[in-house]
A and B are shown apart, each in its own frame.
Chain A
Amino acid sequence: MDEILKILRELDWSPLYISLKTGVVATIISFFLGIFAARKVVKAGPRVKAIVDGILTLPMVLPPTVAGFFLLLLFSRRRPLGIFLFENFDIKVVQTWLGCIIAATVIAFPLMYRNARAAFELVDVNLIYAARTLGMGEVEIFWKVAVPAAGPGILSGTILTFARAMGEYGATSMLAGNIPGKTGTISQKIAMVIQDGGYLTAGIWVVIVMLIAFGIVFLMNLVSGKHMKQTKRW
C-alpha cells in the first residue's frame, strides 16, 4: 500500500494530459471530417459509395501498424510531403505531438464516419423533402434537420471516436514515438513500464485507463438513455 502511494506521489501525470489532449483534438477533427464524408457518401451513387466507403473504413480494419507505415511513408522528412511541410511551413510531424494527433485521427476517424453514415441513412427522407418545400436552404437543412435527426448515432460515434483516439497505440508509436512529456501517451507508457518490469506503475495506469473507459461507456448509455426507456425489456 505504501508503495502504491509512493508511486502515486511521484507519478509523472504527463501521459494522461497528452492522451486526453490528443483524444480531444483528434475527436474534433474526426467529428467534422466524419460528418462531411458521411454526407458525401450518403449522397453518392452506389459504385462510388462502395469504393469510397471501403477506403474510408480501411484504417479501422487494418492493423494500426500498417496505418503507421503509410503515415511514416507520407510524413517522413525524407519524403516529398514531409520535406514540403518542413521547408515551407516549418511543420514536423514525425516524433512530435502533431504526429500523435494525426495517427489518432486516422485510426479513429472511421468510427465517426461509419456511425454518422448509418445515422444519416436512417433519417426519414420526407423530413428533408419537407424542409426543402418549406424554403429552407440546403446548409440550414443539414445542420438544423438532418444532423439533429441523426443525433443519437452521431453522438455515440463521437464518444467511440474519442475512446479510440485516446487509446491509440500502434500508429502513434510509429509516427510520433514515445517521447516522455511530448508524445508519450498512456498506452505507450504502460508498454514501456512493463518492459522495465514496473508492474505496479503499469497497474496504476491500467486502473486510470479503465476508469476513463468505463466513464465513456457510462456517458454513452446515459445520452442514449432516452431511447432505452422506450425499448422493451425481455
Chain B
Amino acid sequence: MSIQAEIRKTYGDFKLDIKLDSSSKRIGILGASGCGKSMTLKSIAGIEQPDSGRICIEGKTVYDSAQKINWKPQKRKIRYLFQNYALFPTMTVEANIGAGVRGTKAEKKERTSEMIRKFRLEGLESRLPGQLSGGQQQRVALARIMAYRPEMILLDEPYSALDVYLRDRLQQEMQEMLEDYDGTVILVSHSRDEIYRFSQELLVMDQGTIIRSGSVKEIFADPKRVEAARISGCKNIVKIRRVDAHTIDIPDWCVSLVMKRTVPEDITHIGFRAHDFIPVWGERKENCIAAEVGSIAELPFERKYFIKGAAKGAEEICWFVQRELLGILEEKGMPEFLEMPEEKILLLK
C-alpha cells in the first residue's frame, strides 16, 4: 500500500505543484473547488498528463518525466469513480460491470455475476443506467471498478451531486462496500464531514499545493495553517498580535488572551470553533469575550448566534449552540461573556 507522487502542471494561470508520499490505505484530499485536487487524481490515473514529475504506485513507476515513463491509464490498474459515475449509457448493468473484466467470456460472466451478487444488483442486470436510482447507479459504478483487480481506487467527489439524505446513506454504503478492499483508496472532496469519516490520512490542498498533511484526527485538532483551519470548518479565524510567549492580543475582538503554552513567534492568527465557546454568566473570567449578540439564525437542532466583534468593521464571531445547551440558555438567559478554553484555541500561521 503506497503512493509517492510529485506532480507539476500549469494550465492557464493555475499552477499545480504537489508532493505526496503515503502508505496509508485510506487517503483523503480536502480542498476548495478549483484547488487542483481533481487534476491530481486524474494525473495519478493517467487521464491527464503532468508537465513534469514522478508517480509511483505500489512501488511501480507509472510516470516519470525525467525517464520518459508514462504508462497508459489502461495499464495502471487504477480505477476512477467519477462524480457522475460515467456509466456507459447504452450498456446494460451487466455489460457495464463486465466492461473492465479481461479474460475469456466465461471468466467475464462469472466475475460479473459475482459482482452483481456482492453489490446487491440482482434483477437489474439488463437495465440501462438511465433506469436506475442514484443509489443503484453508485453500486453499479463501484461494482464496475471492483470487478477486476484494482490496485488503487480514486473517488472524485462521489457525493457532491446528491441531496443530503441520500448522501449520508450512500457514504455509509460506500464505506461498507470498500471495507474488505485492502488496496489504497483516495477520496477527494470539499466536504469536511465526508473526509473526516472516510480517511485515515489527510492532505489539505490550497491553490495547487498541499499545505498540510497528517492523520485526520491530528489535523482537525491542530490545523496549523489558516487555510487548513478554514477548510476543516473552523468558523472563527482572526488575526492576532503576539505580545510575548504567553500573551496574545486580538485587536478585532479587543481582548488579550493569556496562554499557558508557549506561543511560537510565527503565529499570525488564531482559530476557534463555533461550538467551543463556554457561556459565562456574571463575573468575567480569563480569556473571555463580551457576548453581544448581533443576529440569530434558528436551525432545526441548533441555534447560531452572531456575536458583534468589539472593534469597528471586525467580522462577526460565530457561536453555535446545540440542543442540550439551548435549554440552559432558555433558563438562565443570555450569558454576559463567552469563555475560550485554552486547549480549544488553535494557533495558526
Contacts and interface: CB of A to CB of B under 8 A. Distances in A.
A228 to B, nearest CB: 16
A13 to B, nearest CB: 40
A132 B86 CA distance: 12
Given A129-B80, A130-B80, A135 B86 contact: no
B84 interface: yes
A160 to B, nearest CB: 22
Among B45, B86, B91, max chain A CB count under 10 A is at B86
Contacts of B77: 135
A126 B45 contact: no
A133 B78 contact: yes
B74 to A, nearest CB: 5
B167 to A, nearest CB: 20
Interface string B85-96: 010111100000
A11 interface: no
A145 interface: yes
B86 A129 contact: yes
B79 interface: yes
Contact of A133 (B73, B89, B91): B73
A132 B99 contact: no
Interface in A114-140: 124, 126-127, 129-137
A129 B74 CA distance: 10
B99 A131 contact: yes
Contacts of B88: 127, 130-131, 144-145, 148-149
Contact of B100 (A126, A135, A149): A135
B78 A134 contact: no
B144 A129 contact: no
B47 A129 contact: yes
Contacts of B82: 126, 129-130
Nearest to B47: A129
Question: Which size class do A's interface residues fall under?
Answer: 10 to 19
A149 B144 CA distance: 18
Contact of A137 (B74, B86, B148): B74
Contact of A134 (B42, B46, B79, B84): B79
Contacts of A131: 88, 99
Contacts, number: 62
B15 interface: no
Nearest to A145: B88
A11 to B, nearest CB: 44
B84 A126 contact: yes
Interface of B is mostly: loop
Contacts of A144: 88, 91, 99
B284 interface: no
Nearest to A140: B99
Interface in B49-86: 72-80, 82, 84, 86
B28 to A, nearest CB: 20
A136 B100 contact: yes
A135 B79 CA distance: 9
A181 to B, nearest CB: 44
B130 to A, nearest CB: 10
A131 B98 CA distance: 11
B119 to A, nearest CB: 16
Nearest to B45: A133
Nearest to B72: A132
Given A126-B82, A126-B84, A132 B90 contact: no
Contacts of A126: 82, 84, 86
Nearest to A147: B90
A129 B88 CA distance: 11
A88 B73 CA distance: 47
Given A129-B47, A129-B80, A133-B45, A124 B86 contact: yes
Contacts of A136: 74, 99-100
Contacts of B197: none
A127 B74 contact: no
Contacts of B148: 134-135
A124 B86 CA distance: 8
A144 B72 CA distance: 19
Among A134, A135, A148, max chain B CB count under 10 A is at A134
Interface of B: 42, 45-47, 72-80, 82, 84, 86, 88-91, 99-100, 102, 144-145, 148
10 contacts: A132-B47, A132-B72, A132-B73, A133-B46, A133-B73, A135-B77, A135-B100, A136-B100, A137-B74, A148-B88
Interface of A: 124, 126-127, 129-137, 144-145, 148-149, 151
